[in-house]
Structure 1
Amino acid sequence: MATETHAAEAAEGSGLVFHPMDQFIVKPLFGDGPVGMFTITNVTLWMFISVIAIVLLLVVGTSRRAIVPSRSQSLAELTYGFVYKMIEDVTGKDGLKYFPYIMTLFMFILFANMLGLIPGAFTTTSHIAVTGVLAVLVFATVTIMGFVKNGAGFLGLFWVASAPLALRPILAIIELISYFVRPVSHSIRLAGNMMAGHAVLKVFAGFAGSALIAPVAVGAITAMYALEMLVAFVQAYVFTILTCVYLKDALHPSH
């Protein structure tokens, strides 16, 4: 025990003690009390900033609708076309009526991911409480829509008619389990990737305080930061395209 204490003190004196998970702690924005259901926290703040940033890009940035678009208008139009094409390719023309919901989902996740890369910011999508709500909303929406549009025919999603008759009940159980696991995998994938990347960045930032390995650590931080920007976009894309896949299942449930 004495040896462990001495080692901890030596590490602390060398400036190598850091806590990469502290950046994910939810804190009240005002005061130091406990976090309740209606407490305004750092998560609340950065989700609000994400919404404001989206409004500035999509509403304010495109308000003039110039023939020769500005940078903000070009970016908004490119994003619009990207999501529109994604929905059309995955769900067909039937899914385009749900474009506003999917576009909102993509923009919120993308901006939350990107804003979380600002030093001192909070990555809201690193918390399962945030991504879980998004995933459950998608799951509930497509499930209700599936029954509303198809009635009992929506259950055809779980019945693999092309499989041998003896295997169909077993496959139906597997399909049913995998269906209800969707919101879990949908939310954990996003939160896990965002948390892991930011934790690694914090670790390299901690090593940057050591004079011996500072150049290597700074180089690693730069490379990881570039990678995290790519991951921020990819994870928003993956979450959205999976939503489109689930929407396609609701619109066309038969195998």
Structure 2
Amino acid sequence: MATETQGEGGGLEFHPMDQFIIKPLFGGDAVNWYTPTNATLWMALAVLAVFALLVLGTSKRSVVPGRVQSVAELAYGFIYKMVEDICGKDGVKYFPYIMTLFMFIVFANFLGLLPMAFTPTSHIAVTALMAFAVFFGVTILGFVKNGASFLGLFWVSSAPLPLRPILALIEVISYFVRPVSHSIRLAGNMMAGHAVIKVFAGFAAIAAIAPLSVIAITAMYGLEVLVSFIQAYVFTILTCVYLKDALHPHH
């Protein structure tokens, strides 16, 4: 995951942010909307990994499941219970989308931990697209399901009457900030962890501190494995919370 270059004075120059540069797969420097890039490749690999686990891994549907089928069933049950507990029975019909979202994020995060890999979820463009899709989706659903009464989500009827307009303004601002925080949280955590690992990996080339650097890399790598899952979980559970607000704005 780390690369070092020799500086003019013989020292090492570390570039922990180089790993986040979008590069065309087939040479050149120009990146257009249609250009296949390293981000495209690793997102495609994440999709293929999800397909392999959930489709190919469960194709036999054995009564006594193997390891791959057990993992797929565990993921299925975990997300299904999350959706049912937060959104209620009305939210179960949206389970396929939420399951797909979780599996894509978790695989993109985990694949990004491989040596020389690229982490698409460290880019705000990727996470913002998912966050805004959730935002517009639940907003449209809220109006379709509830009509104008969806606006009751912003009116805190339990508060004293003089405070309600102020609270309504705060609620509106908070609502429109959702996709920003939703996307920045995931991208920021993935970028920060990978950058720290690369910094420690760069220092591993210095013999005097190499043992400490290796220990730090191991600790950070273990933490990033945990963070990769937690961030996928947080993104998904917030999606469920937003969906619940669209389905039950007065609760």
Instruction: Place the TM-score, normalised by the shorter chain, in its bin.
Output: over 0.9
Which residue among 93, 110, 114 is the counterpart of 2:110?
114
Could you tell me which residue of structure 1 aligns to residue 73 of structure 2?
77
In the alignment, the residues of structure 2 paired with residue 183 and residue 26 of structure 1 have an alpha-carbon distance, to the nearest angstrom, of: 23
Shift of 1:9: 3.5
Tell me which stretches of 4 or more aligned residues in structure 1 moved more than 3 Å: none
Which residue among 191, 209, 220 is the counterpart of 1:195?
191
Could you tell me which residue of structure 1 aligns to residue 248 of structure 2?
252
SS in 2 for 1:17: strand
1:170-212 per-residue CA deviation (whole Å, 9 max, x = no partner) reads: 0000000000000000000000000000000000000000000
In the alignment, the residues of structure 1 paired with residue 120 and residue 214 of structure 2 have an alpha-carbon distance, to the nearest angstrom, of: 25
| Residues 1:63 and 2:69 are matched in the alignment | no
Shift of 1:132: 0.3
Shift of 1:230: 0.1
Could you tell me which residue of structure 1 aligns to residue 13 of structure 2?
17
| Residues 1:226 and 2:222 are matched in the alignment | yes
Q: Residue type matched to 2:28 in 1?
A: D
SS in 1 for 2:143: helix
Could you tell me which residue of structure 1 aligns to residue 45 of structure 2?
49
Question: What does residue range 119-130 of structure 1 map to in structure 2 within 5 Å?
Answer: 119-130=115-126
Which residue among 129, 134, 140 is the counterpart of 2:130?
134
Shift of 1:161: 0.2
SS in 2 for 1:213: helix
What is the root-mean-square deviation of aligned Cα atoms in Å?
0.8
Q: Residue type matched to 1:115 in 2?
A: L
Which residue among 159, 163, 180 is the counterpart of 1:163?
159
1:136-178 per-residue CA deviation (whole Å, 9 max, x = no partner) reads: 0000000000000000000000000000000000000000000
1:226-255 per-residue CA deviation (whole Å, 9 max, x = no partner) reads: 100000000000000000000000000015
> How many residues matched?
245
Q: Residue type matched to 2:109 in 1?
A: N
Farther off after superposition, 61-70 or 193-202: 61-70
In the alignment, the residues of structure 2 paired with residue 21 and residue 170 of structure 1 have an alpha-carbon distance, to the nearest angstrom, of: 42
Q: Residue type matched to 1:22 in 2?
A: D
Could you tell me which residue of structure 2 aligns to residue 88 of structure 1?
84
SS in 1 for 2:207: coil
Q: Residue type matched to 1:223 in 2?
A: A
Shift of 1:17: 1.2
Q: Residue type matched to 1:66 in 2?
A: S
Task: Report sequence identity in percent.
Answer: 74
Shift of 1:93: 1.1
| Residues 1:104 and 2:105 are matched in the alignment | no
Could you state the TM-score of these two structures normalised by the residue count of structure 2? 0.96
1:65-112 per-residue CA deviation (whole Å, 9 max, x = no partner) reads: 111111000000000000001111111111111000000000000000
* Structure 1 unpaired stretches of 5+: 1-7
In the alignment, the residues of structure 2 paired with residue 33 and residue 241 of structure 1 have an alpha-carbon distance, to the nearest angstrom, of: 38
In the alignment, the residues of structure 1 paired with residue 63 and residue 27 of structure 2 have an alpha-carbon distance, to the nearest angstrom, of: 49
Q: Residue type matched to 1:123 in 2?
A: T
Could you state the TM-score of these two structures normalised by the residue count of structure 1? 0.95
In the alignment, the residues of structure 2 paired with residue 95 and residue 155 of structure 1 have an alpha-carbon distance, to the nearest angstrom, of: 20
In the alignment, the residues of structure 2 paired with residue 45 and residue 115 of structure 1 have an alpha-carbon distance, to the nearest angstrom, of: 11
In the alignment, the residues of structure 2 paired with residue 230 and residue 74 of structure 1 have an alpha-carbon distance, to the nearest angstrom, of: 20
Could you tell me which residue of structure 2 aligns to residue 172 of structure 1?
168
Q: Residue type matched to 2:193 in 1?
A: G
In the alignment, the residues of structure 1 paired with residue 55 and residue 231 of structure 2 have an alpha-carbon distance, to the nearest angstrom, of: 24
Which residue among 26, 29, 32 is the counterpart of 2:28?
32
Shift of 1:32: 1.1
